[in-house]
Amino acid sequence: MLKRFCKRIIPFVLSALMIFSLAACSKETAPTDDKTKSESTGGDGGTAPTTEDKAPKEKITITYWHIFPEGDAFKPVNDKLVKDFNESQDEVYVEDLGISFFDYLSKMDTAIPAGTGPDVGFNGLEDNAFRAESGVLVNLQPYIEADGFDMGQFYQAARDYVTHDGGVYGMPIAWGNRILVYNKQMFRDAGLDPEKPPKTLEELEAYADKLTKIGANGEIEVMGFHPALGNATYKDYLYQNGGSFFDENDNPTMNSPENLKTLDWYVRMTNKYGAKQVQAFSTTAGSTGIDPFLAGYVAMEVNVNDFYKKLLDSGIEFGICALPLPAEGGVRGTVGGGFNLEVFDHGDEAKAQAAWKFVSYMTSVEAQQYWVTQNKWPVGNQVAMETCEELKTDPNWQVMMEELAFAKFEKFIPKARAWWGALYPELEAAQQELKTPQEALDAAQKAVELQIEDYDAQN
Partner 1 sequence: MKSKRKRMIIKLISYLLLIFFSVAFLFPFVWMLMTSFKSNVEMLRPDFIIPKLRFENYIRAMTVIPFGRYTINTLIITAFNMVGTVLSASLVAYAFARLRWKGRDIWFVVMLATMMLPSQVTQIPLFIVFKNLNWLNTYLPLVIGSFLGGGAFNIFLLRQFFKTLPNELAEAARIDGSSEIGIFARIFMPLCKPALATIAIFSFMGSWNDFFGPLIYLTDPNKYTIALGLRAFKGYSGIQWNLLMAASIVTTLPSLILFFSFQNYFVKGITLTGIKG
Residues at the interface with partner 1 (CB under 8 A):
2-3, 5-6, 9-10, 13, 17-18, 20-21, 23-25, 28, 31, 36, 39-40, 42-44, 50-51, 63, 67-74, 97-103, 106-107, 110-111, 113-116, 284-285, 288-291, 294-297, 309-310
- Cβ-based nearer residue to partner 1, 294 or 299: 294
Cβ closest to partner 1, residue 56 vs residue 289: 289
* Alpha carbon distance 359, 241 (integer Å): 37
Q: Which is nearer to partner 1, 115 or 421 (CB)?
A: 115
Residue among 92, 54, 445, 428 nearest 247 (CA): 445
Give whichever of 18 and 450 is closer to partner 1, judged by the CB atom. Answer: 18
- Give me the least distance between CB of 92 and partner 1, in Å please: 19
In whole angstroms, the minimum distance from the beta carbon of 420 to partner 1 comes to: 20
User: Running DSSP on this structure, what letter comes out for residue 395?
Assistant: H
Whichever of 82 and 416 has its CB closer to partner 1, that residue is: 82
Residue type, 62: I
User: Which residue's CB is nearer to partner 1, number 315 or number 395?
Assistant: 315
Q: Which is nearer to partner 1, 16 or 146 (CB)?
A: 16
| Spatial distance between the Cα atoms of 352 and 206, rounded to a whole number of angstroms | 55
The strand order across the sheet containing 120-124 reads 92-98, 60-66, 120-124, 337-343, 171-176
- Going by C-alpha positions, the residue among 367, 398, 396 that lies closest to residue 384 is 367
Tell me whether residue 120 or residue 260 sits nearer to partner 1 (CB atom).
Answer: 120
Find residue 337's DSSP bridge partners: 176
Shortest distance, position 226 Cβ to partner 1, whole Å: 15
- Asked whether the beta carbons of 216 and 226 are under 8 A apart, the reply is no
Q: Give every CB contact of residue 167 below 8 A, 6+ residues apart in sequence.
A: 132, 139, 140, 141
Q: How far is the CB of 12 from partner 1 (least distance, A)?
A: 9
Task: Provide the minimum distance between the beta carbon of 70 and partner 1 in the complex, in angstroms, as a whole number.
Answer: 5
Strand blocks (E) in 279-438 = 298-304, 318-321, 337-343
CB of 187 to partner 1, least distance (A): 21
Nearest to residue 170, comparing CAs of 130, 123, 134, 118?
Answer: 123
Minimal distance, residue 288 CB to partner 1, in Å = 6
Residue 77: CB minimum distance to partner 1, A: 11
Nearer to partner 1, 25 or 457 (CB): 25
What size, in residues, is the chain? 459
Rounded CA-CA distance 193/202 in Å is 16
Closest C-alpha to 93, from 321, 340, 355:
355
- In angstroms, the CA 402 to CA 23 distance is 58
The answer to whether residues 155 and 336 touch, using CB atoms and an 8 Å cutoff, is yes
Q: What is the closest distance, in whole angstroms, from the C-beta atom of residue 27 to partner 1 in the complex?
A: 8
Residue in 72, 89, 154 with CA at minimum distance from that of residue 368: 154
For 279, phi and psi rounded to 5 degrees? -65, -45
